[in-house]
Structure 1
Amino acid sequence: MIESTDREVSGRRGKLMVREWATPNPGWIALIAHGYGEHSGRYQWVAEQLVGARALVYAPDHLGHGRSSGDRVHFEDAETIVADLDALRQEVAAEHPGLPIVLIGHSMGGMLAGRYAQEHQEHLAAIVLSAPVLGTWHVLDLLEHDEIPDTPVDPATLSRDPEVGAAYLADPLVWHGPFKRATLRAIDNCLLAINDGPTLERPTLWVHGEDDELVPEADTRTGIDRIRGAEFHEHIYPGGRHELFNETNKAEVMNDVLTFIARELNS
């Protein structure tokens, strides 16, 4: 196991806790944007695979998530978190000038990565979107209620491996309460902005599980089709649920991701 170290980064609304996984001879930088309600510590295995491919890996806990500051899972503007990602990017790029940067976003983090890429494409060598919230998202229907009902994430939707769901439920840094209205509105506004934004000109890989009930592939595709650029690749995995990096075929998924990144960095 490769131990991570911690750093603090000044975000727009407070301190961000960032996990860093180092390698002695880095060839590139990987930035990971995690999903709603979770935290960067859940990407330990992913980080180890990236380090094995000579990446320096940085993964922040977003505002209101994990060990970062802010009310839990509460933010009023997704652009705040996009700005936080750029603050981290600027810091690590200054420490390691010349290393190409790959942004990897999962679920809500995929939405944030997509928006970041629209605004800061010049800083990225490639983009990886894992089950990104793009296009439309059925969870936003909760905004129709006067009071947001308590509808926690069903751990069975995460992976075919039951241990993943059990660990998710037992994780004290994972949010297990109801969605926040302000956060849902911020996500809705971000999706609208992405739909009206520029296409992704940097090489992009989209990976998604065919049986993803939390973020259905068909809904994401409506957003992907609006922003996909000339160099766009996708892998849709039969039977895969929401967290492909925690799925029973995670080695296959990671191999596809690393193959894509290696090809783009060497091209």
Structure 2
Amino acid sequence: MTVTRRWEFAGRDGAVAARSWRHPEPRYLAVLVHGYGEHLGRYEHVARALLDHGATVVGVDHAGHGLSAGERVLVADFEDRVADVHSLVEDARADHRDLPVVVIGHSMGGMIATRYAQLHGEGIAALVLSGPVLGRWEALEAMRGLDEIPDVPIDPSTLSRDPQVGRAYADDPLVWHGPFKKVTVEAWARCLDAITRHGSLGALPTLWVHGEDDRLVPYEGTAVGIEAVRGTDLTERRHAEARHEVFNETNSDEVLAEVTAFVDRVLSAPAR
């Protein structure tokens, strides 16, 4: 029987809301790292797929997101978000010390997950990146050049070909529908630069999944960042016509099957 737990812990910028889906006999620990302006509640179906695959799943709402404390979408330093994820992983591993850890990050969460892997890669078995913000993001560069960022919300139609995904996003009170904040934009640029300067992920098995019709985080810009961190074990999956949220796309079952097949390959391989 699945046991779901919710709790809070003291993060770098206040109370962080955490959640777990506990498998009775887990094969691995999956850590979900959500994207900008959203929250972990949008990943229920991802958690269930991983749970069915034999994982205990954990994740947080980043500070300033979802049910966590903090000014909405304000990030002064993304290293603090990385530290919060590390606190979550350390807490989860207290009960599962011998389980391999797979970190799965989407969009902004893909950036956070990549930085986490650079700093704590010795403690994880694999990294999965979904439409990650890495390398060159033209939207960020444009916002950095503005004195005042306009109050233009993310277009829900850019998330998925499934219109229900966009409607649910637009109607979700825990999703941030306001403008980007200058402090966050500058912190984002610093984090991207730190990731690029740090460089290769080494031998860490990494799966990169991206929609070819991703208009929020275009493939070409992310590819620049992937080249900067590319290690010796990178698997790339591009999905024709898919938009930004490949886990919420019309072929999400196919995408999640790619993730679980990748995890199976990693778990069956000899220890690094």
TM-score, normalised relative to structure 2: 0.96
Does the 8 Å contact 1:23/1:51 carry over to 2? yes
CA distance in 2 between counterparts of 1:245 and 1:89 reads 22
Give me the CA root mean square deviation: 1.2
CA distance in 1 between counterparts of 2:64 and 2:207 reads 28
Deviation at 1:215, TM superposition (A): 0.3
Which shifted more, 118-127 or 137-146? 137-146
1:249 pairs with 2:251: yes
Q: Equivalent residue for 1:229? A: 231
Note the alpha carbon deviations across 1:96-127, whole angstroms, 9 max, x for none: 11011000000000000011101111011000
Does the 8 Å contact 1:117/1:124 carry over to 2? yes
Deviation at 1:29, TM superposition (A): 0.3
CA distance in 2 between counterparts of 1:160 and 1:61 reads 25
Partner SS for 2:198: coil
Choose from 191, 211, 214 the match for 1:212: 214
Query: Aligned partner of 1:174: which letter?
Result: V
Deviation at 1:198, TM superposition (A): 3.1
CA distance in 1 between counterparts of 2:168 and 2:162 reads 11
Does the 8 Å contact 2:59/2:88 carry over to 1? no
TM-score, normalised relative to structure 1: 0.98
Deviation at 1:3, TM superposition (A): 7.4
CA distance in 1 between counterparts of 2:229 and 2:143 reads 26
Note the alpha carbon deviations across 1:74-111, whole angstroms, 9 max, x for none: 01100000000101111111121101100000000000
CA distance in 1 between counterparts of 2:3 and 2:262 reads 26
Identity %: 52
CA distance in 1 between counterparts of 2:257 and 2:22 reads 20
Q: Equivalent residue for 2:35? A: 35
Note the alpha carbon deviations across 1:123-160, whole angstroms, 9 max, x for none: 11000000000001122111211111112110000000
Which shifted more, 122-131 or 136-145? 136-145
Does the 8 Å contact 1:19/1:41 carry over to 2? no
1:168 pairs with 2:208: no
Q: Equivalent residue for 1:265? A: 267
CA distance in 2 between counterparts of 1:80 and 1:101 reads 20
Q: Equivalent residue for 2:143? A: 142
CA distance in 1 between counterparts of 2:197 and 2:95 reads 34
CA distance in 1 between counterparts of 2:22 and 2:57 reads 7
Following TM superposition, the consecutive aligned residue runs of length 4 or more in structure 1 with deviations greater than 3 angstroms are: none
Query: Aligned partner of 1:244: which letter?
Result: V
CA distance in 2 between counterparts of 1:103 and 1:117 reads 8
Query: Aligned partner of 1:192: which letter?
Result: D
Gaps of 5+ in 2: none
Query: Aligned partner of 2:199: which letter?
Result: P
CA distance in 2 between counterparts of 1:218 and 1:135 reads 9
Partner SS for 1:103: strand
Note the alpha carbon deviations across 1:181-218, whole angstroms, 9 max, x for none: 10011110000011101311210000000000000000
Residue correspondences, number? 267
Does the 8 Å contact 1:75/1:183 carry over to 2? yes
